Every structure is written in C-alpha cells, then in structure tokens.
Amino acid sequence: MPFRMPVKGEHGGQLPSVMAVEQIGVTAPRYSASSELDRWVQHGRAADRSATTLRAPSARALAGASDKICRRRPRGRRAVAANDAPDKSVSSKPALIGKVAGPAHVTAKDDATRGEAAPTETIDFEQLSLNLVHLIAQGGKAVAACLQPGEESWLDGVGTGDVVGVARTLGHVAEYWLAQPQRAIEIQADLGRAYFGLWASTARRVLGGEARPVVKADAKDRRFADPEWSSSPYFDFLKQAYLLTSDWVNRVVKSTRGLDPQTRRKAEFYLRQLTDASSPANFVPTSPELLRETLSSNAGNLVRGMRMLVEDLEAGRGRLKIRQTDPTVFEVGRNLAITPGKVIYQNELMQLIQYAPTTGRVLRRPILIVPPWINKYYILDLSPKRSFVKWCVDQGLTVFVISWVNPDAKLAAKGFDDYMRQGPLEALEIIATVTGGEKAHTIGYCAGGTLLATALGYMAAKGDDRALSATMFATQVDFTYAGDIMAFIDEEQIESLERQMSRAGFLEGHKMALAFNLLRPNDLIWPYVIGNYLKGDAPRAFDLLYWNSDATRIPVASHSFYLRNCYLENKLAKGEMTVAGETIDLGNVTVPIYSLATREDHIAPARSVLFGSKLFGGPVKLVIAGSGHIAGVVNPPYQIKYSYWTDGPPVSNVETWLARAEERPGSWWPHWMQWIRDQDPTEVPAREPGGGKLAPIEDAPGAYVKVKA
C-alpha cells in the first residue's frame, strides 16, 4: 500500500517520492527514512530521491519513520502558557512535543532487540488527535467571542456603504477591460503565458534539469525568506505563481485607462490588500515554515494560536485586536515615559509637562514639543536610551511637552481651532510665565506639526512672535503628495466616517490604528497573524510597538475639519484655511524652520514634506533621515543605525535631492542640536519645573496619557 510523503531529492530541488510501506513478513532493504524526514522537516533537504521502503508491523514502526521531526526547535519567543512550554525536567535538549506511537511499555531498546529501527522521538498520533480536538474547541470559543454582545463587534464600522464603495471602485477597472472583449482576452492571455512558462520551468526542474525562476521575489520581502521557498519545487511553484498573479493584478490596474487619480489609487490599495492577504506564506498547507512547525508540534502551534486568537477577540470585545508585542512587559510611568518631570498646567484638552534639568546650566530658550493629538506623546519618551525627551534634557534644554487628553463624548464638539488655542498657544503662554517671558523653540511631530504650522500662521496674522524657531518631524503642510493614505480620502468615505463618529462623538483609536497598519500590512498585520495564530508564538516585547497599540480617540469635530481642510481640499497649502477667524497663510511664517523628512515614510512621504517646505516664508533647513515615520525620527545617537542627508539643492524631486545631498552616518539628533544652538547659544542657570511660579500638579507622565481608548 503506497504512502506518499514529501521526501526531497537533489537535481535542483526536492522531488516528492513514493514511500512504499510493505506488509509484515516482506523483506525490505535496511534504510533509515527517519533521517530523510528529519532533513525535510528541519532543513528542507534530503539525500535520496529513490522510493523509501519501510516495514510496517505496527503503528509504532510507522511512526518511527518520522524520527526526530517532533523535536521542537528553540524559539526566541516565550510559550503562551505553562502547559505549552517544553518540559525541561527531562533533558536539556529541546523537549519532545509528541510521544512514541504505540504501547507505552514498548521501548526503543526492545524494538532494537527485535532488529527494528524505532526512534524515541516520534509523531504522537494520540497527541495530534487531542490537539485537533482542542483546536475545534478553541475555534468555538473564537466564534463565540466574535458574536458576544458589547460596545463593538467585528462588524462594527463595516457598513454596506464601505462594501459598495470597494465594489464600485473595482467595477470601474473591470468595466474598462470588459468593454472590449479583445482587450480582456489579451490581458488574460498575458497571465496564461506567464503560467505556462512557470509550468514548463517547474517541469524541467522536476525532471532534473536546470531552470531559471520565471519571477523572483524582492530580496527585502521577508515572507519568502525561508530557504525552501526556493529549494523545493512545490513551494517555489506556489511562490512564483503568487508573484506572477500579483504582478499581473498590478499591471491590470496601471493599464486601465480613463480612471481618475483617486479611483486608481483606491483600486491599487484594495487589490494590494487582497493580494497580500492571499499570499501562500499566510496558510499552513502552502508555507514550508508553517507546515514544518505544524508537523513537528503535532498541531500544537495551531492550538496555541487559536487560544491567542480567542484572547485577542475577547480583549477587543468581539473585534480582533492583534497583539504586536507582549502588553504585560510595559507600563507608562514604570518603564515608558519615565523621564523625571512635573505636570505644571492642564486644561480639558492637554496637560503641559516640564522636565527636570540634569545639567547645571541650560540654553536660555526653552523647547515646546507638540505631538500629534491622534497619538500619545511618549513616542518621544520611550525607554531611556531611546527617549528624545531625555536626550534633549541631557543636552541642556528646558523641555516642555504637551500630553493630549484621550477624549470622550463630552469633547465631541472640540474642533481644530480649540486644539490650536488650548494646545500650543496656551502652552506658549505658560512657558513665558515660567521662564520669565522667554521666546521658545517649537517642535511638531506629524499631525502635531501640521497643527503647529497652523498655529504659527495664526500667530503671524496676529503679530505674535513668541516662537523663536520651528522644527517639523515628518510633517505635511501640503497634501498633494500625501501618499497611500489618500486611498481613504474622498467625499464619500469622509461622509461615511463622519456618520460613524457622530454616533459616539469621536473616532475610536483602533480605527485610526488600523488605517495606518493597512498602509503596511506585510509589516504590521500579516507577520503577527502568522506568528501569533499560526505559529502559536507570543510576540516579543518591543516598546515602540506597545506605543503603536496604545491608541487614542479623536473628537469628531477636530478630525472632520482636519481630513477635509488638509487632505481632501488641501486648503492649508492654498492659503484658504480659516481657523479661529483668521485665514492661514504659511508664507507669513518667517521663523527659521528645521524640516525633517524620513526616506521610507508611508504616512508623510518625503516628497510631500519636501514639496510643502517651500510654502514657508522663512529659511528652511531640510534634512532627510533613513528609515520610516517612527524609526527615522526615534533614532538615538547611541547606536549607528541609520544615516541622514542634508544640504541638498532646492529641488522638488527627492531622488535628485538625495543624490546631491551629503550623507552622514548615524543619528540626526546632534545635527539638529547644533542648529538649535545656532539660533541662540546663550545659557542660563537650570530651571526647575514650575519655575517657582506654578505649583506642580503631579509627576510626569501625568494622568491624561494613561487613559486607555
């Protein structure tokens, strides 16, 4: 009776061969199939392409052919629960997941005495069956968690309008190709030819010939990093078929004529989500890494993963809240946002923190940091070695930071102008009081930079000169080239979002977080789906990802104004945006500006930052940092990780600017610090929080930042 197993051979790949299982009493050549299976499961290699013949006197001997494949490899992530952890009391080696198949009283020594190779580490079919039962049980719990009544459900926010919008967008693409049958036939024939070439290449390889890949994965694509995606003809075929299909889908959209830019952008975004989700790396039967893990653990990985899925659904009250880090490791005020300081002022929208000095003398001019109100401020005050705030304090700066409130329905009517007046403008008043009337350097990050730029325009219109300079971290003021996020921006989608927000009075934090995660699903979604729910591995502790999951709500009035006036209508760039009774003209902002873009930014693209920097009326120092929206900014000088570029020519093309700019290794922080000193190098004795003028309310980081969404 034939028993097929994926034993691989040479000749350029791993060709599955037939493993003939003989009946009792039939003489078979001595052969250790266990070593071949072990190579395939552990390393994706086998030495013998010939049919493997095993004797099968019992389930015990059949299981013995899988020698060592149940050995669990050491992992960098901790087990989810104690009963899932390896039993270290037996041996110092990685523990066995399975047990010997067959009667417990029969040992490997007994089998060896009878001349039968019977390993001690085998697939435990009983454990496999038990795990499958557990998997079904956990699946039932997952369904129950999805359907549980609560504030939200997994369908919350997904209305018929959203589905219709996707269908309408993709319908425009289909309409073009189906309008002329010949056009549709030609584009399908292109895919067919590509598939035929792949079939031919795979066939040559299976027959032992040399075959070049029809298509190659990007070297940076971590989904296909496992060697067996290339070494195995089966998995290599799946990978190439997927890549060919994805490329074809992209070409279909790019070749569609008559689409307006927004429809084309949305179509590309929707189809990218579909193709990313359908990657063979996301499914157990089509992923070598997942298949090996499942076989070697008797599906224990799937049981652990399903348990985590249930926990995440319960944590999200019916909505899947994918964990990106271990949430038990971090706590704001304990090991995050721990730079010493005091809350010296608060209103209904923000708390103002002043940090305690660590030097005897400080620069005369203080610093005000305006973080985005759509996130929590401690992205700039993570663990001490990665804290921009602490580093600034240690350089001799008097640092003030706005910590925004996590709003509820009572603040639904708070608009963009309220955030401007009760945020940076009111903070500047307090800083002047504490420091004796000093002007301040200002910093704005992302949306906080847009708010700061608006405030500077408002101050210019009012003749207010309390700001000495402005630093913009990954900030857009012109949204012409705002990037992939524009897929969410049109009148129909904003109206739908406004209807959803109006019911609660605010935008839920997880919806904003999901929108940003969807811009990079292969970095921020699918690795955690695979790692958590298919491998059953809890994610490692990472402060930045803890911050990323610590979302905040946004009042409906301010968010609607921001989306419409900045993204949809681009009024700030056009000089048409009116805030607090003043029309904002950025050309009237003449303070020196340090504008930092990040090279791989998916939220505020470098092209957009560079393009918008021309709107200011004063001198602009443009710097582009390596990496993306967060890592490019939070890049401390203690580690030489990314470079930055400066002193490029005044051009609008990022590639040209980078080619002519000076690349400097390491962090941009010291370069910025020198720029700050150049504005005014005067020093004064260090200032304590409150400056003797205001009594501190509480210790930093304060209460507002600790409120969960």
Give the pLDDT mean for 107-132: 50
The pLDDT, as a whole number, for residue 10 is 39
**Token pair in block for residue 46:** 């086998």
pLDDT tier at 141, thresholds 50, 70, 90: confident
pLDDT, greater one: 354 or 53: 354
Report the alpha-carbon distance of residue 601 to residue 60 in Å, rounded: 56
Residues 6 or more apart whose CB falls under 8 angstroms from that of 465 comprise 439, 459
Phi/psi at 698 (nearest 5 deg)?
-165, 170
- How far is 392 from 82, CA to CA, in rounded Å? 43
Contacts with 202 (C-beta within 8 Å, 6 or more apart), sequence order = 211, 233, 236, 237
How many residues are given for the chain? Answer: 709
Q: Is 510 left (phi over 0), alpha (psi -120 to 50) or beta?
A: alpha
User: So what's the pLDDT on residue 79?
Assistant: 36
* Range from 92-96, 205-209, 495-499 carrying the lowest mean pLDDT: 92-96
CA distances from 340 to 78, 191, 305 (A): 32, 61, 40
pLDDT greater than 80 at residue 49: no
* C-alpha torsion 170→175→181→184, nearest 10: -30
The three-state DSSP-derived secondary structure of 283-331 is CHHHCHHHHHHHHHCCCHHHHHHHHHHHHHHHHCCCCCCCCCCCCCCCC
pLDDT of residue 149: 55
CB 614 within 8 A of CB 359: no
Strands 578-579, 582-583: pairing kind: antiparallel
Q: What is the 3-state secondary structure (H, E, C) of 470-505?
A: EEEECCCCCCCCCHHHHHHCCHHHHHHHHHHHHHHC
Phi first, then psi: what are they for 623, rounded to 5°?
A: -135, 135
Q: CB–CB of 128/98 below 8 Å?
A: yes
Bridge partners (DSSP) listed for residue 399 = 367
Q: In a 3-state reduction of DSSP, which class is residue 339?
A: coil
Cα(476)–Cα(610) distance, rounded to whole angstroms? 9
Identify residue 437 by its one-letter amino acid code.
G
Neighbours of 51 (CB within 10 A): 12
Cα 19 to Cα 56: distance, rounded to the nearest angstrom:
12
Domain parsing of the chain, residue ranges: 2-123, 160-315, 341-484+516-527+569-706
Q: Of these residues, 70, 146, 392, 446, which one is catalytic?
A: 446
- Strands 399-404 and 367-370 turn out to be parallel
**Rounded Cα–Cα distance for residues 364 and 397 (Å):** 8
Question: Which residues, other chains included, contact 136 with Cβ-Cβ below 8 Å and sequence gap of 6+?
Answer: none
3-state secondary structure of 368: strand
* Active site (annotated) includes residue 446: yes
State the pLDDT at residue 136: 81
pLDDT of 161 reads 54
The pLDDT of residue 674: 98
- DSSP line for 590-606: -S-EEEEEETT-SSS-H
Instruction: Check whether 549 has a pLDDT greater than 70.
Output: yes
- 217 against 144, higher pLDDT: 217
Where do we find the tokens 């005014």?
A: 680
Residue matched to tokens 């995606």: 229
Task: Tell me: pLDDT of 558 over 70.
Answer: yes
Tell me the pLDDT tens digit for each residue of 653-668: 899 999 999 999 999 9
Q: Compute the distance between CA of residue 621 and CA of residue 340 in angstroms, rounded to an integer.
A: 31
46 burial (CB, 10 Å; 0-12 / 13-18 / 19+) is buried
Where is pLDDT greater, at 160 or 70? Answer: 160
Is 388's pLDDT higher than 60?
yes
C-alpha distance across the termini of the chain, in Å: 60
pLDDT at 44 over 60: no
Report whether pLDDT(72) > 50.
no
Taking residues 135-143, report their average pLDDT: 78
What pTM value is reported for the model? Answer: 0.80
Of the spans 69-83, 488-502, 589-603, which averages the highest pLDDT? 589-603
User: How far apart (Å, rounded) are the C-alpha atoms in residues 227 and 241?
Assistant: 17
Average pLDDT along the chain: 83
Average pLDDT in the 610-625 region? 96
Burial class (CB in 10 A: 0-12, 13-18, 19+), 4: exposed
CA distance 373 to 599: 23
- The pair of structure tokens assigned to 568 is 């949809």
Q: What is the pLDDT of residue 373?
A: 96
DSSP assigned state of 414: -
677 HSE (CA, 13 A, CB side) = 11
Coil vs helix vs strand at 403:
strand
For residue 551, is pLDDT > 70? Answer: yes
Question: pLDDT class for 338, splitting at 50, 70, 90?
Answer: very high
Give per-residue pLDDT as tens, 12-40.
433 333 333 333 333 333 334 334 444 44
**Greater pLDDT, 493 or 106:** 493
Fold for 341-484+516-527+569-706, please state it: Rossmann fold (3.40.50)
What crossing angle do the helices spanning 233-255 and 160-179 adopt, rounded to 10°?
80
Query: Quick one: pLDDT band at residue 62, thresholds 50, 70, 90?
Result: very low
**Residue 18 has what pLDDT?**
33
| Distance in angstroms (rounded) separating the CA atoms of residues 568 and 491 | 8
- Tell me which amino acid residue 229 is: W
